[in-house]
Chain A
Amino acid sequence: MKNGGKVAALAAGVGLVAGIWPAHALTVFVSNEQGNTISVIDGETQEVINEIAVGNRPRGIALGHDNRFLYICASDDNTIQVMDTETLELVDTLPSGPDPELLVIAPQGDRLYVANEDDNLVTVIDLETREMIAEIPVGVEPEGMGVSPDGKIVVNTSETTNMAHFIDTDSYEIVGNVLVGQRPRIAEFTSDGSEVWVTAEIGGTVSVIDPVGMEVMREISFEVAGVEPEALQPVGVKILEDRSKAYVALGPSNRVAVIDAQTHEVLDYILVGQRVWQLELTPDETTLYTSNGVSNDVTLIDTATDTAMVSIPVGSFPWGIAIKP
């Protein structure tokens, strides 16, 4: 179980010696669920340059439209905190329902959708007025939030109901429900809007859903020799813009699966840190960041070679990742 560390040390050596690391003027934010902080990483030097104390149990984080503000689900404080990404100061809070876990921002940048795990609700917040404008009843323990590229549909997953709920963002009504595997965690649209990928942590699958017919087109499952099937728990998912590949974090198996996003075949597994949870791509999609909860670090994966390059220690129990260009 110490492999994550070994890979990190090795990869760090390779990166430094070869000097092949591409230059980024990026700032990476990582929420630390247990540390109650946000780690701020300089994407160029790959060093943690700051650690900011925030609310209790920060989990899902997302950048607003112009990247000026970072929105932070402070789950145990039942609120969403707003951080100014230039001054790194907390400037406001938003009226979320109880226990916000994951949020997504409309592509137009005007609205924020958040899953309230305790209340079986999805809450809609107007980012201009910073007021709650709607609450949508969904299944038990809402979690994953995905928004279609045109902003017209939000998909929410409910962990105990085991469904993906399709919500019309004009009427705020549910227009369809799709049964998926046990404990669905994340919903992610492809960039062309033609597929929604839903990961099921306990079910061990990714359901690829046709958002028009609202049917599961394909179930992707995972298998790694020598790893017990129960440990292969899909959580975070990121799909490249051109749909050549997708990446799925597999939790306590400490691996990220690489998937052909056209054929849905699993191509490879990349060993990262312990309990890999969420994923985020840099804007140029050359690098994938993974948050590794148990080993308290993030791993950087080169998406050209699908290899782990370096791991960076962050705060305690890293969870969400957001990357500012």
Chain B
Amino acid sequence: MQEINKEYQPLIVAFCCNWCSYAGADLAGSSRLSYPANVKIIRVPCSCRVNPMFILKAFQRGADGVIMCGCHPGDCHYTTGNYYARRRMTLLFDMLDYLGIEKERTRVEWVSAAEGVKFSNVMNEFAAKICELGENKRLEDLRCKE
């Protein structure tokens, strides 16, 4: 694949729950609300399906920022999934911060299926923040680079 842009383009992985945030992203799409192309969405059934390993893996493979989006507290399709996710991520992000992955590189956001505007705003803000922070080299596994 050819290089399209020589300037720095951060890579952002967004985990979105199927019921709220993925639908919110769809709404952002159908409302034509743009956000940077380097945000890549991975669909999970619920935010509680996001294993901390997935986030570590993303950083290892060179992601510059990871964001997890779920239903608003109290609105989880599976009743309580997002509460588990919130606790896990609080612990994980603290640990990552300790390891030198700045807290700003990780984020949890609640986006409902009706919040296309919020989805696009959050992604734009997050991408801008990651641009400021620059490349993440702390956890990147250089052996994975071709």
The finding on whether chains A and B are genuine partners in a shared complex, rather than unrelated, reads: no
Report A's interface with B, CB cutoff 8 A.
Answer: none
Report B's interface with A, CB cutoff 8 A.
Answer: none
